[in-house]
Chains A and B, each alone.
Chain A
Amino acid sequence: MGMERDRGDRRTRRRLRVGLVAAAVAGSVVLAACSATDPVVTGSRPDAGSAPSAGPQTRTPVELDTLPGWTPPTSLGNGGYARPLLGAAGDISWTVYDQQSQPITNHAPTRTVAWGDPSDYTTIPGVLVWRGNNARTAPTYGTADITQKKLQIAWTHDIGAVSADGSYFPGAGWTGQPLLVNWPKATKEAMGLSQAEIDDPGFVEVIYPVFDGHIYRLDLATGTQTRPAIDSGWGFKGTGSIDPRGYPLLYTGQGLNENGEATGPWEYRIFDLIQNKQVAQISGTDEVSHRQDPVGWGAFDSSALVDRFSDTLIEPGENGVIYSAKLNASFDPAAKKVSVDPQLTKMVYSTPVSRQYGIESSAAAWRNLMYANDNDGNLVCWDATTLQVVWAHNFSDNADSTPVLADEGGHPYLYTGNSVGWRGAERRDQVTGLVKVDGLTGQVVWRYDLPTYYDFAVKGGLLSTPLLGQGEDSDMVIFNVAKTTAPSEGTLIALDRRTGRTIWSRSLAHYSWSSPVMIHGTDGHEYGVFGDSAGLLHLFDPATGHDYSTLSLGKNVEASVSAYDNMLVVASYNQKIYGITVS
């Protein structure tokens, strides 16, 4: 009996050992998988380094009746018009209003609003608007001498946070790209910068509206304050715009109208950078707005485009109104005076699929045709001069990403995508559709679907703006899609611009809303940079998707990087603006 018991005990111990070893092996598999670097799946790249041909773009407006398949809109009376909506049943209808919110029955403005080649958006060196130009393809300026492929913090500047809308917003958020301006000497003198800054032709000023409601003005090289921060009182969420004529005017939208217990008005604000104060505004509380969910929401996340030739600013609002402002701006450097007196025309549209009626994306422009995504998944094209809708394509759900424009053979194409909002709430069709769209007709050229997780508070999908490849990577467009393989993960994917096929797809351990940028190396190579929700800034190879190196910025990097030569600037949830050198 005793021997049998001993044998039984030994058997039991042996079974336990086998079980424990198996458990250890299984646990090791789990740990190994969790600690692995981001996996990259590679596809084919038949046109490496070869962009679809692009001709020089002129500012000459497109005659709408020459567009393929063009039909005039149907008049609904009292200034209302309609045309069929693409991608969904029904019509898109719109009305153009004057500043007093009276419908304009026959809107025929005498001045033409249009943009030419993206490189002509401004003559001022720097990044003066979200993604640098009217095509939204130049988020960086200059070239960088990169040998070590490393990122290093050069300076930091402390910023604050704000409690608003039932949440807490520290540092800088989406889209949050800092503006970098190499001002003309006369403008620097007018703004009262230091003599050293005036005399330094390489001086670049960082102008950064952030969550805490301040607009910080810093020296790019050192991070020191150039002028006192402007306190607007209310948080900024999007990206500002500097007048492309070099006028010391900052146009920037308010993202939040709460600051702790205090509540204020919604405004798109215009700041005089000489006086360092707000001098004009557009109210986001507009009687013509159809805004729902929540009603009365009047934030401005879009970064306005300014046509420097017609003195016109165009800004879509989260209240669903597209504003066209004749700025009546003037700048006298000798008198050290800048003035602005915006006169508004506004357009409001509606579709059968609209639920929210708001626009958070910034507009892109090709000649007189402008494009923006809205909170109802509509990609809308309108004529910048007359504000009439040229076409609208519904891609379902919600879209916040700014469409990126590429002229390919004299023909405009848009790269964009949507996010998962109400489809997730209804538990169906949770995919992000990445698309290339014909800018003249609104027809889809190709589409790539990525399954996406739903999160009411932190949306999954394409929140970032696609990055159009440059130089050796000009055959690709890179999308940074949030919450794809898990709620905490994302996908950075490079697609062939011609076919929409995968060049590479990188699974990100931490999702990201930050828009990737491309830095042009003096060595002829391109270098990609993006931030993620774990606070890492990635320097990566756009040809392969692999990281060269990373740098921790403490907390979530939701904002997007700006770069001027070797210097990068961005703020994170860590409540700091970071000046970073790439070497």
Chain B
Amino acid sequence: MLAAGIALVVSGGAALLARTLPGWRTRVAGGGPVWLGLAVGLLVLWLTSSATNLTVILLGAALVAGLVETVLQLVGAPWVFRLIGQLAVIGATMALEYQRGDMFAVTAAVGAVVGVAAFSVIVFATRGAALSGASRTPPLLALVGAVYLGVVAWGLPNPGVGALVLVVAAAVVPLAILPGRGGPDEVALGPVLAAAAFASGMYAWLANASPAMVLAPVAVLEVDVAWTLVRRLVAVDGRARLAAAGGWWRGLDAWSEPATDLVAQRAAAATSPRAASAWLVGATVAVLALSVVQWWLGVHWLLAAAMILLLALGWLLLQLAAIDLPRSDLIAWLAGLSVLAGVLAIGGHLTDGRRLVTALPLLVALVVWAAALPRLRGTADRASAVST
């Protein structure tokens, strides 16, 4: 509690001071205070003998990873170099964990790959939010994730994870409340939120939270980023953008460069930033609630991960409908989602057998259908108005 309190004061104070920072410092005005809050929180935990070795190793390494990523962004390093930087720090951390005996070599390798992927997704999405002027949404999602991991830590239970997410939540709170700092050029918030997510997620995984439970807080973001990156490769405007970069090396950088084409950003443009943010946060909360229910029911993690993905895809579908998806396509996609839910229901019946577990994916599909109803009606009205 002491560490969290001090992290809150330091982060909040630094966030207020960041208003007056001149020059390049405005580029770290969002993430800098959070980084400082986390670092001081870790230091207090350590000095008061409240930090477990895992807290020190994971949060310490995550802070280094965040710092490296921020510095590399500040100097304009290409994406591949930044990726190598993340892999070096996160890979070294996983190697240390393997050497300590906390995990087998295979799980450490998987942890490094998943850790780097999740880190990159968060950096990408947060930078996108900054470019859209939605700088409060990422800290809000981080807070939601911290509360969820707090519930996980309480239920397992694990005081190390609990203390860590408390410090993370305290360091992030000021950024979720105060108006955004730094503007579209801010580069530090993504790395520091990714660092916090990596440390707390990896700790929760080591504490026996399932991969589905750990990845749930970033499930919606992952779907959004994955959709966007694939779209950049297959859609006409995306390919044109890559071609305009000139050369494969620059094209690779352009492909991985955050812009304003995330589904959430496009939805914000088509509807309103507030509505899009509410959908994003709401969907994440729904995913986390589903994850907790599945944890409580003891659903196998693969099935649980698939149901989380199903719900995240539902969000994607609804957002695409809000952007420009025609009614007929929406119905087709919803039908596809329902088929997927049916497959998962059969899988649940065969592998688990409980009625509730079997019904759960169907309930998820039903919720998505219900949420899509206004869109279906609205699109129908528009279509009939055009025809007349």
> Which residues of A line the B interface, CB within 8 A?
11-12, 15-16, 19-20, 22-23, 26-27, 29-30, 33-34, 39, 41, 424, 426-431, 451, 453-454, 485-489, 507, 509-510, 533
Most B C-beta atoms less than 10 A away, residue of A12, A426, A487, A489: A487
17 contacts between A and B (CB under 8 A): A15-B75, A19-B68, A19-B74, A22-B67, A26-B64, A29-B43, A30-B56, A33-B46, A33-B57, A39-B49, A41-B49, A427-B208, A427-B210, A485-B54, A486-B52, A487-B101, A509-B53
Q: Is B206 an interface residue (CB 8 A)?
A: yes
Which residues from 194 to 250 on chain B have a C-beta closer than 8 Å to any C-beta of chain A? 206-210, 213
Task: Answer whether residue B39 sits at the interface, using C-beta atoms and an 8 A cutoff.
Answer: yes
Q: Is B61 an interface residue (CB 8 A)?
A: yes
Residues of chain B within 8 A (CB-CB) of A23 are 64, 67-68
Q: Across the interface, which residues of A come within 8 angstroms of B101, CB to CB? A: 487-488, 510, 533
A287 to chain B, nearest CB (A): 32
A26-B206 CB under 8 A given contacts A428-B155, A430-B157: no
Q: How far is the CA of A375 from the CA of B74 in the complex (A)?
A: 58
Bound complex: CA of A34 vs CA of B60, how far in Å? Answer: 11
The answer to whether the Cβ of B24 comes within 8 Å of any Cβ in the partner chain is yes
CA distance A33 to B64 in the complex (A): 15
Flag whether B102 is at the interface (Cβ < 8 A): yes
Query: Hey, which chain A residues are within 8 Å of B295, CB to CB?
Result: 427
On whether the beta carbons of A488 and B102 are closer than 8 Å, the reply is yes
Q: Could you say which of A15, A41, A430 contacts B158, with CB atoms under 8 Å apart?
A: A430
Determine the chain B residues whose CB is within 8 A of the CB of A33 once the complex forms: 46, 51, 53, 56-57, 60
**Interface residue B336 (Cβ < 8 Å from any Cβ of A):** no
With A29-B46, A427-B208, A427-B209 already in contact, the answer to whether A34 and B24 are too (CB < 8 A) is no
Say whether A15 contacts B157, CB under 8 Å.
no
Q: Which B residue sits closest to A39, measured CB to CB?
A: B49
Q: Please, how many angstroms separate the alpha-carbon atoms of A486 and B161 in the complex?
A: 11
- A304–B208 Cα distance when bound, in Å, is 36
What's the least CB distance linking A42 to chain B, in Å?
10
Q: Mark B169-210, 1 if CB is under 8 A from A, else 0.
A: 000000000000000000000000000000000000011111
- Known contacts A30-B61, A430-B157; 8 additional CB pairs below 8 A are A22-B67, A23-B64, A29-B60, A427-B295, A427-B298, A430-B207, A453-B207, A486-B102
Give complex CA distance A489, B57 in Å: 14
For chain B residues 36-55, which have a beta carbon within 8 Å of chain A? 39, 42-43, 46, 49, 51-54
> How far apart sit A29 and B71, CA to CA, in the bound complex (Å)?
20
Measured CB to CB, the closest approach of chain A to B36, in angstroms, equals 11
A19 touches B70 (CB 8 A): yes
B96 at interface, CB cutoff 8 A: yes
Q: DSSP majority for the B interface?
A: helix
By a beta-carbon cutoff of 8 Å, the part of chain B in contact with chain A is 24, 39, 42-43, 46, 49, 51-54, 56-57, 60-61, 63-64, 67-68, 70-71, 74-75, 96, 100-103, 155-160, 206-210, 213, 295, 298
Determine the distance from Cα of A16 to Cα of B67 in the docked complex, in whole angstroms. 10
Contact assessment for A30 and B49 in the assembled complex, using a CB-CB cutoff below 8 Å: no
Establish whether residues B46 and A34, one from each chain, have CB atoms under 8 Å apart when the complex forms.
no
Q: In angstroms, how far is the closest chain A Cβ from the Cβ of B123?
A: 16
Q: Bound complex: CA of A15 vs CA of B39, how far in Å? A: 19
Q: A11-B24, A34-B57 are contacts. A430–B156 as well, Cβ < 8 Å? A: yes
Provide the residues of chain B in CB contact with A507, threshold 8 Å. Answer: 52-53
How long is the Cα–Cα vector from A533 to B160 in the complex, in angstroms? 22
Q: B96, A34: Cβ atoms under 8 Å?
A: yes
Closest B residue to A458 by CB, please name it. B101
Give the docked Cα–Cα distance between A428 and B57 (Å): 25
Contact B208 A424 (CB under 8 A): yes
Contact of B24 among A15, A20, A22, A30 (CB under 8 A): A15
Nearest 9 CB-CB pairs, A to B?
Answer: A19-B71, A488-B101, A33-B56, A30-B60, A487-B102, A485-B52, A26-B64, A488-B100, A454-B208
Minimum CB–CB distance for B103 against chain A, Å: 7
Assembly CA distance A20 to B160 (angstroms): 28
Q: How distant is A26 from chain B, measured CB to nearest CB, in Å?
A: 5
Q: How far is the CB of A224 from chain B (nearest CB, A)?
A: 36
Chain B residue nearest to A36 (CB atoms) is: B53
Q: How far is the CA of A487 from the CA of B57 in the complex (A)?
A: 14
Residue in A closest to B58 when the chains form the complex, CB atoms: A30
> Nearest CB to that of A33 among chain B residues?
B56
In the bound complex, what is the Cα–Cα distance between A487 and B54 (angstroms)? 10
CB contacts (< 8 Å) of B53 on chain A: these are: 33-34, 485-486, 489, 507, 509
CA distance A429 to B298 in the complex (A): 13
Closest to A486 in B: B54
Q: Do the beta carbons of A16 and B71 come within 8 Å of each other?
A: yes
Q: CA separation between A424 and B68, bound complex, in Å?
A: 36
Chain A residues within an 8 Å CB radius of B75 = 12, 15-16
**CB distance A451 to B298 under 8 Å?**
no
User: Chain A contacts of B68 at CB under 8 A?
Assistant: 19, 23
- Cβ A426 vs Cβ B298 within 8 A: yes
| List of A residues within 8 angstroms of B160 by Cβ | 485-486
A11: B residues at CB distance < 8 A: 24
Collect the chain B residues with CB atoms within 8 Å of residue A27's CB.
60, 64
A12-B75, A489-B53 as given contacts; A26 in contact with B60, CB under 8 Å: yes
Q: How far is the CA of A453 from the CA of B206 in the complex (A)?
A: 8
Query: Would you give the shortest CB distance from A95 to chain B, in whole angstroms?
Result: 33
A430 to B156 alpha-carbon distance, docked (Å): 6
Interface contact B67-A26, CB-CB below 8 Å:
yes
Query: Which residues from chain B contact A424 at a C-beta distance below 8 Å?
Result: 208
**Alpha-carbon separation in the docked complex, A489 to B158 (Å):** 14
The residues of A that contact B54 with a CB separation of less than 8 Å are: 485-486
**Closest residue on chain A to residue B39 by CB atoms:** A26
Question: Whose C-beta in chain B lies nearest to the C-beta of A431?
Answer: B157
Closest to B100 in A: A488
Of chain B, the residue at the smallest CB distance from A427 is: B208
**Cα distance, A424 to B209, chains bound together (Å):** 10
> Does the CB pair A451–B64 fall under 8 Å?
no
Give the residues in chain A near B43, CB-CB below 8 Å.
29
List residues of chain B with CB within 8 A of the CB of A19.
67-68, 70-71, 74
Chain A residues whose CB sits within 8 angstroms of the CB of B208 once the complex forms:
424, 427, 430, 453-454
- In the complex, which of the residues B70, B206, B213 contacts A486, with contact meaning CB atoms closer than 8 Å? B206
How far, in whole Å, are A15 and B187 apart by their CA atoms in the complex? 14
Instruction: State how many angstroms separate the Cβ of B46 from the closest Cβ of chain A.
Output: 7
Which residues in B have their C-beta under 8 angstroms from that of A430?
Answer: 156-158, 207-208
Cα of A485 to Cα of B53 in the assembled complex, Å? 8
**Residue of chain A at shortest CB distance from B161:** A451
Cβ–Cβ contact B103 & A487, under 8 A: yes
CA distance A279 to B67 in the complex (A): 70
Decide: A451 and B159 in contact? CB cutoff 8 A: yes
Chain B residues contacting A510 (CB-CB under 8 Å) are 101
**For residue A22, which residue of chain B has the nearest CB?**
B67
Chain A, Cβ-Cβ closest to B101: A488
